[in-house]
């Protein structure tokens, strides 16, 4: 039987939750030979190794070690590294996930080498071109052969951009696949109790978007607003945000606790036990919707509108936060429902589509 050679690419923290169920699925199937490439976009233990350990991910076959840099430097470094990997291995298909710089760089490299690409989490759009991720999403989708959409709105976006319908597959959300299988370990984590946090009595915060954390004044205002909320706030700080907080000399206050970035099970345990989550992350909007936890997203737009329309998410500003938190504390927040096909089986559907592709192309 012929074998289809796949390269799966991951580089930054949110990628790891997305590749885990795909790799697990391909391990169960014959006909695929999979190489895992880690670009090294994220490299700190708390942003990287801990997720490999939590999710039981195997060691990458190839590590590009690109590290941090400007967008051009980082994207170029991944492209140079990927070109060598793809020349050496000659895969039939490259799988990229999400919307980080590594996603875009790997997809562009493969396209220029006429290698087929599958984009997992295709079709999300914030319509905000100041977000680097929006550029990454749009360009990755344009060059991809398989567009695996997590929600109906993502399918509609791709169709409205006239991307051919036979490339678009509505498969559900791979991040939720990981959440579903991890729930027992998440519930068993002692993260919230180790921080002496009472279930339902605190907010968990994550903030790392350039629009929120790159300007010192804005960070000050945000931290002040968080410190004034009517409930205890715990904030595992992303390295990008930590640098800004250190540069402005901001420390914890009595109501706002800053802690190190956490692993997957521990942070999910924090979310599960929180009264609400305050975030600017993409994936966390989805995870809170699945868990039924109120989510306040400190952004002007979201590329994941299904979490607002159907889930527990609302957009927020510094000014709207106190009223929204009051609503949460009064038990007055929408309950939400789990979006279609967020059922833990997205990676299975993706592998099925690709297996049919093997039959057609080999």
Q: Which residues bind ligand UD1 (CB under 6 A)?
A: 12-14, 41-44, 47, 68, 99-101, 132-133, 208, 238-240, 243
39 and 306 Cβ atoms separated by less than 8 Å: no
Least Cβ distance, residue 119 to ligand UD1 (angstroms) = 15
Query: Which of 138, 137, 217, 122 is closest to 172 using CA atoms?
Result: 122
> Nearer Cβ to ligand UD1, position 127 or 360?
127
> Nearer Cβ to ligand UD1, position 223 or 341?
223
Least Cβ distance, residue 276 to ligand UD1 (angstroms) = 20
Least Cβ distance, residue 46 to ligand UD1 (angstroms) = 8
Quick count: other Cβ atoms within 10 Å of Cβ 52?
Answer: 19
Token pair listed for 36: 């895992």
Least Cβ distance, residue 129 to ligand UD1 (angstroms) = 13
95 and 15 Cβ atoms separated by less than 8 Å: no
> Nearer Cβ to ligand UD1, position 150 or 275?
150
Token pair listed for 303: 């590329």
Is residue 336 classed as helix, strand or coil in its secondary structure? coil
> Nearer Cβ to ligand UD1, position 13 or 345?
13
208 is catalytic: yes
Pairwise CA distance, residues 19 & 56, whole Å:
11
Helical H segments across the chain, by residue range: 13-28, 49-55, 71-89, 101-112, 132-143, 152-160, 174-188, 191-194, 210-213, 216-227, 239-247, 264-273, 283-291, 306-309, 321-329, 346-361
Token pair listed for 81: 């590294």
Pairwise CA distance, residues 109 & 144, whole Å:
11
Least Cβ distance, residue 297 to ligand UD1 (angstroms) = 13
> Nearer Cβ to ligand UD1, position 210 or 322?
210
38 and 63 Cβ atoms separated by less than 8 Å: yes
Set 208, 220, 232, 238: catalytic member: 208
> Nearer Cβ to ligand UD1, position 50 or 306?
50
Least Cβ distance, residue 70 to ligand UD1 (angstroms) = 9
Token pair listed for 350: 């993706």
Beta-bridge partners for 8: 36, 95
Active site residues: 208
């Amino acid at each position: 039987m012929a074998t289809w050679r796949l390269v799966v690419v991951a580089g930054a923290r949110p990628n790891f939750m997305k590749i885990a169920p795909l790799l697990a699925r391909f391990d169960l199937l014959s006909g695929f030979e999979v190489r895992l490439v880690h670009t090294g976009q994220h490299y700190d233990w708390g942003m990287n190794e801990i997720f490999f350990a939590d999710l039981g991910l195997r060691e990458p076959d190839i590590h590009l070690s690109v590290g941090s840099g400007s967008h051009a430097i980082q994207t170029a470094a991944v492209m140079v590294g990927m070109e060598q990997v793809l020349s050496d291995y000659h895969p039939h298909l490259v799988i990229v996930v999400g919307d980080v710089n590594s996603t875009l760089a790997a997809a562009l490299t493969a396209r220029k080498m006429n290698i087929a690409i599958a984009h997992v989490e295709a079709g999300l759009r914030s319509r905000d071109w100041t977000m680097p991720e929006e550029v990454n999403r749009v360009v990755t989708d344009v060059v991809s052969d398989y567009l695996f959409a997590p929600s109906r709105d993502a399918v509609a976006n791709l169709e409205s951009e006239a991307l051919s319908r036979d490339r678009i597959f509505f498969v559900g959300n791979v991040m939720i696949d990981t959440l579903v299988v991890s729930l027992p370990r998440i519930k068993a984590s002692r993260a919230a109790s180790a921080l002496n946090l009472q279930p339902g009595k605190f907010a968990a915060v994550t903030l790392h978007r350039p629009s929120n954390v790159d300007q010192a004044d804005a960070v000050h205002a945000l931290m002040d607003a968080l410190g004034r909320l009517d409930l205890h706030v715990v904030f595992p700080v992303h390295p990008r945000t930590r640098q800004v907080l250190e540069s402005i000399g901001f420390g914890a206050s009595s109501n706002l606790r800053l802690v190190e970035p956490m692993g997957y099970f521990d942070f999910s345990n924090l979310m599960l036990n929180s009264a609400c989550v305050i975030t600017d992350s993409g994936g966390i909007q989805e995870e809170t919707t699945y868990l039924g936890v109120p989510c306040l997203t400190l952004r002007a737009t979201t590329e994941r509108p299904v979490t607002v329309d159907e889930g527990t998410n609302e957009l927020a500003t510094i000014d709207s936060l106190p009223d929204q938190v009051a609503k949460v504390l009064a038990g007055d927040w929408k309950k939400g429902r789990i979006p279609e096909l967020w059922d833990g089986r997205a990676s299975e559907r993706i592998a099925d589509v690709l297996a049919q592709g093997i039959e057609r192309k080999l």
